[in-house]
Amino acid sequence: RISPSYRKSGSETSLKTSVTSFSTSTTPDFTQMLTYGVATGVQFGILSGALHSIDLVVAKSSLTKLPLPVVALLFVFLSLRSRIASPLDNSRPKKKELKGKATPPDIKRPSWTPPGIAFPFIWLTITALRGISSALVYDTVGGKLLSPPLLAMILHLSIGDTWNTITNLERRLGVSAIGVLAVWASVMNAIVRYYRVIPLAGKILAPSGVWISIATVLTMTIWRINKPVQPIWPVKGDGKSAKFKLSNLGQLRQPDSVEDSSEPTVERINEKVDLDSPKVATMEKLQAPSKKVYCRCWKSDTFPLCDGAHMKHNEATGDNVGPLIVTAKKEDK
């Protein structure tokens, strides 16, 4: 919030602008770190329990094991909707918000970022490969869903859903850059375990590892090029933390937009000016006659003066912010 006040005395005009900003503390939020771990563990437990229940039903039936197409479809479903077992809010941004891009318009992306339209095709291909490779593993291990290699896939999906919350809902670029390493490690673990059971399954799943490797580099690059560089841990009191949302458990159709959340996040306005100060205040005295143009978008590299950065911001976001123009005129005698 910007509150300018003016005092005029003779040929001198004094402008004082007081700006109240959000907390600039970088204190790690250990509670939220624990939330990430607990949410991932709960989701892994729920999905593992579901697989065990299916094994028990099959064991009591006349079947020796599930038909492979059914297993493939099961893991295709889990790849697409594993978040039904996540206790965290796993809302996704609306396609309109992304405007055909891979990330929200206000996030800088490297020039080599794939177009947004490519991502659904990539993920649908990976989903199919997960289903086929998982069915091959299931058949080779003797028809047991609750087996170490298939649990490795469940762990990968659980970690991925927590990472999606961090990336899409909280929009913590630094935490996302670290979290994607866990996603990468978990898929590599699944590929190795699949390969040890049956090499063909590992080879079929390998493209998933290739794509997530690319996504890892992309995520870390996005974190690095967006200034100021965000910390690699969740910050206490920044208003971004996702909460447990148990009402989403079991829902096949979850909110597809962060805006649909009953607890919307509050994002800071100032992301580059005197971030170590609890409050940014500017006082200047203008000698008449003179005119100055002051920044109101908080993106100017010459703050508090405007450098035109608001034009790029408006183009990217559809906003309409502009500068504050102050003129000091000589009084007529």
195, 208 Cβ separation under 8 angstroms: no
CA quadruple 240, 243, 247, 252: dihedral sign: positive
User: CB neighbours of 29 closer than 8 A, spacing ≥ 6?
Assistant: 233, 234, 235, 236, 237, 238, 241
Cis peptide before 289 (omega within 30 of 0): yes
User: CB neighbours of 132 closer than 8 A, spacing ≥ 6?
Assistant: 72, 204
Which residues have a catalytic role annotated?
279
Separation CA 187–CA 213 (nearest Å): 10
Which of 219, 183, 187, 207 lies closest to 126 in space, CA to CA? 207
User: CB neighbours of 44 closer than 8 A, spacing ≥ 6?
Assistant: 154, 155, 158
239, 266 Cβ separation under 8 angstroms: yes
Which of 193, 61, 86, 188 lies closest to 134 in space, CA to CA? 193
CA quadruple 253, 204, 71, 150: dihedral sign: negative
Angle at 186 between CA 182 and CA 188, to 5 degrees: 120
201, 133 Cβ separation under 8 angstroms: yes
Angle between helices 118-140 and 199-225 (to 10 degrees): 150
